[in-house]
Amino acid sequence: MPKALIAIGGNSLIRAGQRGTLEEQFENAYHTAKAIARIINDGWEVVVTHGNGPQVGAALIRSERAVNEVYTHTLDMCVATTQSEIGYILERAFIKAFNEDNIHKKVLTIPTMVIVDENDPAFDKPSKPVGPFYTHSVAEEKQEQLGWKVVEDASRGWRRVVPSPEPIEILELDIIKQIMDMDIVTIALGGGGIPVIRKPDGTIEGSEAVIDKDRSSALLANGIDADIFIISTDADKVYLNYKKKNQKGLDSAHLEEIEKYYSQGHFPPGNMGPKIEAVMRYLRNGGKKAIITTFEYIGDSLEGKAGTTLLP
């Protein structure tokens, strides 16, 4: 049975312009699950990973604002909390989709830890956007009053940024493989994984960071020897000169071509850059095929009718 790792982005749970209520997240997750159910019905074995930028930022805000009322959460604990929260939302969505499509499969969320290097320079240069979008003036105010680092994110507003170290090792990799062997649809590596540090004596400690989910998803895709690595985002395909008059969509490209376009600056850090970086890592490490598209077109993209297909 061919294996697909599908990394779903924030738009699969919270769309642009939405408040991100639980009702909205359940509805969006259901539509994503319906799209993925289509390829499961076609015989694909699926592992789903997901981001948590809005949710982990919200969890952090709740913790900070309630500091005088209850115990607070560290950033790694916020990632752990949102893994369960989003996993629950997705599991309900898949169960509904499976019942409607007469798919007799179980779905399970695996809490997942990822080793990072405590000396990673990313800890000194926060870069991962989390939480809600703000106007420039509000973001500057929070930066001054709360000591936040803020950046403009994808031309949609300003957001808080936190450290985003490189993922080194997925601790639950063997467990994920075992669950897959049981023919269970697996939700893993939520929010890029809980960032942890392995100490010299072998113990594990949490780390104040949020790992980029596309980078860690590429690591997992190679780890399970996925036949295809799909990144679901808010763009139907990869574009050169994005949002410019000479914008051009890519139906397909090989690694050498995409590396050239990347070096030419076509994929900025706040937009398609991290996704292209993740695909390049996956292909360089033996990956067979990758696709970037929106969740609506996942099924069509596997048939070459939509999205951007990227090959070694």
Number of domains present in the structure of the chain: 2
* pLDDT over threshold 90, residue 181: yes
Same domain, 137 and 231: no
195: confidence class by pLDDT, cuts 50, 70, 90: very high
User: Same domain for 94 and 199?
Assistant: yes
Output the pLDDT for position 107: 98
- Residue 106 inside a domain? The answer is yes
**Longest alpha-carbon distance in the chain:** 57
- At residue 15, the pLDDT reads 81
| HEC sequence for 79-101 | HHHHHHHHHHHHHHHHHHHHHHH
| Same domain, yes or no: 286 and 184 | yes
Report angle CA 222, 273, 116 to the nearest 5 degrees.
50
Residue 177 is among the residues annotated as catalytic for this protein: no
The predicted-structure confidence for 16-54, as pLDDT tens digits, reads as follows 778 889 999 999 999 999 999 999 999 999 999 999 888
pLDDT of 154 over the 70 cut: no
185 lies in the same domain as 269: yes
Catalytic choice (34, 237, 275, 289)? 275
Considering only CA atoms, which of 290, 285, 312, 311 is closest in space to residue 302? 290
Model confidence over 289-302: pLDDT tens digits?
A: 999 999 999 999 99
- DSSP 8-state code for residue 167: P
pLDDT more than 70, % of the chain: 98
The domain in which residue 147 lies consists of: 126-162
For residue 15, being part of any structural domain is answered with: yes
213 catalytically annotated: yes
On the question of pLDDT at 198 being above 80, the answer is yes
Contact 41/101 with Cβ under 8 angstroms? Answer: yes
| 120 within a domain of the structure (yes/no) | no
CATH number for position 80: 3.40.1160.10
Question: Annotated catalytic residue: which of 9, 28, 53, 128?
Answer: 128
Looking at the fold, whether 77 and 184 belong to one and the same domain comes out as yes
Could you tell me whether strands 3-8 and 228-232 are parallel, antiparallel, or unpaired per DSSP bridges? Answer: parallel
User: How far is residue 189 CA from its own chain's centroid?
Assistant: 8
Residue 61 shares a structural domain with residue 110: yes
Task: Tell whether the model's pLDDT for residue 160 goes beyond 90.
Answer: no
Q: Which one, of 77, 44, 48, 38, lies nearest residue 60 by Cα? A: 77
Picking from 162, 184, 218, the residue at the C-terminal end of a domain is 162
Domain end call among 105, 138, 162? 162
For the question of residue 3 being annotated catalytic, the response is no
Specify whether 145 is located in the same domain as 292. Answer: no
CB contact at 8 A, 91 and 107: yes
Mean pLDDT for the chain overall? 92
Q: Flag whether 149 is in a domain.
A: yes
Q: Tell the residue number behind the tokens 């070459």, with chain if given.
A: 304
Same domain assignment for residues 186 and 291: yes
Spot the catalytic one: 10, 51, 87, 193.
10
How many helices (H) and strands (E) would you count in the chain? 9, 17
258 occurs within a structural domain: yes
Catalytic residue among 213, 271, 287, 299: 213
Pairing, β 107-110 against β 185-188: parallel
Residue 121 within any structural domain of the chain = no
Tell me the per-residue pLDDT of 72-127, one tens digit each, with 9 for 90 and over.
Answer: 888 899 999 999 999 999 999 999 999 999 999 999 999 999 999 999 999 998 88
Active site residue 128: yes
- Does residue 281 lie in a domain region? yes
Distance, CA of 216 to CA of 238 (rounded, Å): 20
Q: How far is CA 114 from the centre of its chain?
A: 14
Question: Of 9, 11, 191, 299, which is the active-site residue?
Answer: 11
247 CB burial (10 A radius; 0-12, 13-18, 19+): exposed
CA distance 5 to 240: 25
pLDDT at 238: 95
Q: Are residues 202 and 297 in the same domain?
A: yes
b/e per residue 267-302 (b: at least 16 CB within 10 A): beeebbebbbbbbbbbbeeebebbbbbbbebbbebb
Question: Could you give the CA distance from residue 54 to residue 134 in angstroms, rounded to a whole number?
Answer: 12
Looking at the structure, do residues 66 and 131 belong to the same domain, yes or no? no
Query: Do residue 28 and residue 103 come from a single domain?
Result: yes
Same domain membership, residue 27 and residue 82: yes
